[in-house]
């Protein structure tokens, strides 16, 4: 029997888009003949990923899971929202979220980790599922969060199954206060984050580049008014404060009561619990954000087909 080398497996993977274990199996079945192995994979429906990998995947699911004082959130994309209702895809995403949790949300470690119950890595399982589901699938991102003392809570908006939907949020609260009360508060803050999409916990945490970009835009807008520079400077500073109140979590008004700042909510909770409460971190994954979706013109597509 021919030797199945790593280079041969790699070549077959690049040619077909199939998973490593599937490529090894195909080469073993065909005595190392790469052409025959590619045909074997096609016959088994495992080479479909290669043809589908170029198609835009902006639908799918985001999922968030929690275990004790740590949690993880992931996004797995598909081409159509129909796939999000597929139980096999839902199980895939939730299993990947579990692996992410085991690997502290680290994307590279998660991707290379064994997929539960399979002789494949997580990344290979996603590729393998392309042939089963029939669409391009993309393992896009992951994030992990933990606290030393306190709680980590997840919230999923528009959940299609428990733990997975269109928006997934993780929130960590640090405090020595009662865990039950902290969990209830964290759940409300998670819902607030889902609604308001803050960019940072505090003004000090805000990305300087984001702030500078906003300052430039506001300055250019103010100059269009023709006002003196000293007036422009005051106008811009006022608008920057307004911008921060919109994108900084602790400066936002709590959506639950629509009147109290999050910073005051945390301060009041600390007094009630007899221990300071602070936001250790948060993550908000919205399905497909930042992915440029292809606009389909089916009439033009049909017309183009008739001209061929």
**pLDDT by residue (tens digit) across 84-101?**
899 999 999 999 999 999
> Which of helix, strand or coil describes residue 176?
coil
Q: How many domains does the chain have?
A: 3
Alpha helices, DSSP H, located in 250-292: 262-273
Do 143 and 28 lie in one domain? The reply is: no
Both 77 and 157 in one domain: the answer is yes
Same domain membership, residue 138 and residue 95? yes
Task: Answer yes or no: is 280 within a domain.
Answer: yes
What is the span of the domain harbouring residue 111?
Answer: 59-197+271-286
For residue 52, pLDDT over 60 is answered with no
Q: What's the rounded Cα separation, in Å, for the pair 46 and 182?
A: 47
Classify residue 279 by burial, with Cβ atoms within 10 Å: 0-12, 13-18, 19+. buried
β-pairing, 150-157 with 167-174? antiparallel
Longest C-alpha distance within the chain, in Å? 83
Please state the rounded mean pLDDT for residues 106-120: 95
* Res 147 pLDDT > 60: yes
State the Cα–Cα distance between residues 289 and 293, nearest whole angstrom: 10
Burial of 75 (0-12, 13-18, 19+ CB in 10 A): buried
Q: For residues 230 and 138, state if they share a domain.
A: no
Q: What is the CATH number of the domain that holds 236?
A: 1.10.286
Strands lying side by side in the sheet with 164-165? 138-146, 70-78, 59-67, 164-165
Tokens 């198609």 appear where?
A: 55
Asked whether 50 and 63 are in contact (CB, 8 A), the reply is no
- The gap between the terminal CA atoms of the chain, to the nearest Å, is 47
The pLDDT value given to residue 96: 98
Higher pLDDT, 22 or 169: 169
Distance CA 164, CA 172 (A): 19
Q: Same structural domain for residues 21 and 76?
A: no
Distance (Å, rounded) from C-alpha 128 to C-alpha 136? Answer: 10
- Contact between 261 and 254 under an 8 Å Cβ cutoff? The reply is yes
**Is pTM, for the whole model, over 0.85?**
no
Domain match, 154 and 47 both: no
Q: Using 50, 70 and 90 to split pLDDT, how confident is the model at 303?
A: low
Least confident of 155-169, 225-239, 279-293: 225-239
* 134 shares its domain with 276: yes
Rounded Cα distance between 103 and 70, Å, is 11
For 115, which DSSP code? P
> Residue 5: which residues within 8 A CB-CB, separation 6 or more?
none
More confident residue, 199 or 53: 199
Please report whether residue 110 resides in a domain. Answer: yes
Whether 44 and 66 share a structural domain: no
Residue 169, domain member (yes or no): yes
Alpha-carbon Rg for the chain in angstroms = 25
**Same structural domain for residues 190 and 281?**
yes
- In this prediction, residue 39 carries a pLDDT of 79
pLDDT at 279: 98
pLDDT of residue 220: 81
In a domain, 25, yes or no: yes
Confidence at residue 296, expressed as pLDDT on a 0 to 100 scale: 47
Q: Which of 108-117, 183-192, 217-226, 261-270 has the lowest mean pLDDT?
A: 217-226
> What are the distances in angstroms from CA 101 to CA 130, 280, 308?
24, 17, 51
Q: Answer yes or no: is pLDDT of 212 > 80.
A: yes
């Amino acid at each position: 029997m021919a030797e199945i080398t790593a280079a041969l497996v790699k070549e077959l993977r690049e040619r077909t888009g199939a998973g490593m274990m599937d490529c090894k199996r195909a080469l073993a079945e065909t005595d190392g003949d790469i052409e025959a192995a590619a045909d074997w994979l096609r016959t088994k429906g495992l080479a479909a990923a290669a043809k589908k990998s170029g198609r835009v995947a902006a639908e799918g699911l985001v999922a968030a899971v929690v275990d004790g004082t740590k949690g993880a959130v992931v996004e797995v994309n598909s081409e159509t929202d129909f796939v999000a209702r597929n139980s096999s895809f839902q199980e895939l995403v939730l299993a990947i979220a579990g692996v992410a949790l085991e690997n502290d949300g680290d994307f590279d470690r998660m991707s290379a980790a064994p997929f539960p119950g399979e002789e494949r890595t997580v990344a290979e399982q996603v590729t393998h599922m392309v042939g089963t589901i029939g669409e391009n699938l993309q393992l896009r991102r992951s994030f992990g969060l933990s606290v030393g003392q306190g709680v980590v809570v997840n919230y999923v908006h528009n959940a299609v199954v428990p733990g997975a939907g269109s928006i997934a949020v993780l929130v960590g609260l640090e405090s020595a206060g009662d865990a039950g009360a902290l969990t209830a508060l964290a759940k409300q803050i998670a819902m607030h984050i889902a609604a308001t999409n803050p960019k940072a916990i505090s003004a000090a945490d805000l990305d300087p580049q984001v702030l500078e970009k906003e300052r430039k835009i506001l300055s250019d807008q103010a100059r269009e008014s023709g006002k003196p520079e000293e007036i422009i400077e005051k106008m811009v500073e006022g608008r920057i404060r307004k911008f921060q109140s919109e994108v900084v979590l602790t400066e936002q008004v709590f959506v639950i009561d629509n009147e109290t700042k999050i910073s005051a909510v945390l301060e009041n909770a600390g007094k009630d619990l007899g221990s300071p409460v602070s936001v250790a971190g948060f993550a908000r994954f919205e399905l497909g954000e930042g992915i440029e979706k292809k606009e389909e013109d089916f009439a033009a597509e049909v017309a183009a087909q008739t001209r061929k």
